[in-house]
Amino acid sequence: MQRRDVLKIAGAGITAGFTQPPALHAASASASLSASWISVRDHGAKGDGSATDSPAINRALAAAASAGGGTVYFPAGVYLSYSIRLQSKVALYLDQGAVLLAGPTPLDGTASGGYDEAEPQGAWEPYQDYGHNHWHNSLLWGEDLTDVSITGPGLIWGKGLSRGWDTEKTRPDSSKPGVGNKALALKNCRNVLLRDFKILEGGWFGILATGVDNLTIDNLLIDTIRDGIDIDCCRNVRVSNCTVNSPWDDGICPKSSFALGTARPTENLTISNCYVTGGYEVGSVLDGTWKPLADKGAWWTGRIKMGTESNGGFRNIAISNCIFESCKGLAIESMDGALAEDFAVTNVTMRDLRSAPFFLRLGTRMRGPRDAKPGVLRRVLLSNITCTSASPLPAILAGVPGHPLEDIQISDVLIQQAGGGDDAMAARIPEEREAAYPDPEMFGALPATGLFARHVRDLEVSNFGITVRDSDARPAFWLHDVEGADFFRVRTPAAAAAYDLRACRRFRSFGSAQHEDVKFEEVAAQKI
């Protein structure tokens, strides 16, 4: 993308001269309010896309902080920058036409200049990926701050950032000195507002928030290669009205890593009214051309996923009124000893899915302290979900022997699957793969069209409808080591069995027009 293109995206050419937003020129604006706005141009920023403006921007931030707080204002222009150090009680406002542009670095890093050095971690550094262990090597970063905001309709363009794929020959190695790999990183902050701006090519993470409490993320448009928003070990978070296109990684990704040196949960989180996709060329959602992704080797990820880093766990999570398109489905994962409980997912539509509609996984990867024990995944409600044009993979509920998922309720779900499964697929018994990296494809082809459930305790499924585009030999529901399963008013493809039950206890199916009511106290192996 050329410089003229990003100016077009931002909606205005480079202009100079504003020292405060136009609203503050009104006669009714008080002098004290006007004085609280500080233009980066007044501290030497050029905004011409060539001069390095981060020293001037940091001077403006320091001036606002020393005055007790205020707003640092970016009028229209392209501000080529390296690390910008956020300050407590200081807001950034990116006006229409303002572009904060991440500067370039050599592929092998630089001994002087560039982004701030990646700070050292403790003995827990191996427990999560490099990107999660560092915050200072970012375009914008803040640590131990309170009352911070970034707002306005402008653009953050991470053009010069590493994507974290250190074998990539066209981008700098993320672990080298002077290289940045995140558009925005926050650590141990409180009372943070992120609203209205756009992120293009955000590096490894468009937004990485670790240990941030009272965080609001609203009305962002993120068009990026890798993760859009990572919410790690955070409390009291609201994510709303966001659009994220991320073909090669996850769109909105709550985590609970060990990056703070302790197992801290992500809790009291709502995600609402968001659109996630992995199906469009990066930049084309932002500029409104919506070009379908041409790269046949793309991952089409783009989803909402809780995990994979999951040492601290998840509690009180609500996801509502969200749309998934041309991406993988919803994932909730406990892999590293996490206590994950109390999820409500409702009013979700999915179209052109490239994987399972939803994937609940309790595994034992255990990347963390040696004394950690396998985790728990329980009390999950999934309701009012439609899924059309899905992949051959069914919805997946997967614990491991001795550690089942618990208290799962699924209601009012319509799934249209690709179908096409043959007798060999119907006969498969997938490997357990307890410690493997969690993803729906980890088990290979699965012996169910609608729902694969293994190692689950207390499962309730009601008003669950399954259709297939192509005839399928697999049963609609495949259950192994499921104790306490109630299926009410389900609709399944007519060509195959409704259920394949293996080592199940307290099973009941009733109220379905296609099948007789059945009830088993215990069943070793039976198809219905």
* Residue 268 pLDDT > 90: yes
Can the peptide bond before residue 308 be classed as cis, meaning omega within 30 degrees of 0?
yes
pLDDT range class, residue 33, cuts 50, 70, 90: very low
Residue-level pLDDT at 5: 53
At residue 333's C-alpha, the angle toward residues 385 and 327, to 5°, is 50
Report the first-to-last Cα separation within the chain, whole angstroms: 57
Quick: pLDDT tens for 170-191. Answer: 899 999 999 999 999 999 999 9
Least confident of 6-10, 168-172, 222-226, 350-354: 6-10
Quick: pLDDT tens for 6-25. Answer: 445 444 433 333 334 444 33
How far apart, in Å, are the Cα atoms of 154 and each of 7, 209, 500? 10, 20, 54
- Tell me the pTM: 0.93
Q: Contact 361/336 with Cβ under 8 angstroms? A: no
Question: Please, what is the average pLDDT of the chain?
Answer: 92
Which residues are CB-neighbours of 261 under 8 A, at least 6 positions away?
A: 122, 124
Q: What percent of the chain has pLDDT over 70?
A: 93
Q: Which of 33, 205, 69, 44 is nearest to 134 (CA)?
A: 205
Residue-level pLDDT at 15: 34
Q: Which two tokens stand for residue 220?
A: 């962002």
Quick: pLDDT tens for 384-432. Answer: 999 998 788 999 999 999 999 999 999 999 999 999 999 999 999 999 9
* Residue 135 pLDDT > 60: yes
Cα–Cα distance for residue pair 489/481, rounded to 1 Å: 22
* Residue 335 pLDDT > 70: yes
Q: What percent of the chain has pLDDT over 90?
A: 87
Residue-level pLDDT at 8: 52
Residue-level pLDDT at 389: 82
Residue-level pLDDT at 207: 98
Amino acid symbol at 377: L
Mean pLDDT of 84-92: 98
Cα–Cα distance for residue pair 183/162, rounded to 1 Å: 10
Tally of CB atoms within 10 A around 77: 28
Residue-level pLDDT at 111: 84
Q: What's CA 201's distance to the chain center, in Å?
A: 15
Residue-level pLDDT at 167: 80
Q: What's CA 303's distance to the chain center, in Å?
A: 6
* Residue 259 pLDDT > 60: yes
Least confident of 71-85, 225-239, 486-500: 486-500
pLDDT range class, residue 36, cuts 50, 70, 90: confident
Residues in the chain: 528
Which residues are CB-neighbours of 296 under 8 A, at least 6 positions away?
A: none
Mean pLDDT of 33-37: 71
pLDDT range class, residue 34, cuts 50, 70, 90: low
Quick: pLDDT tens for 270-313. Answer: 999 999 999 999 999 999 999 999 987 788 999 999 999 999 99
Place of tokens 């219905």: 528
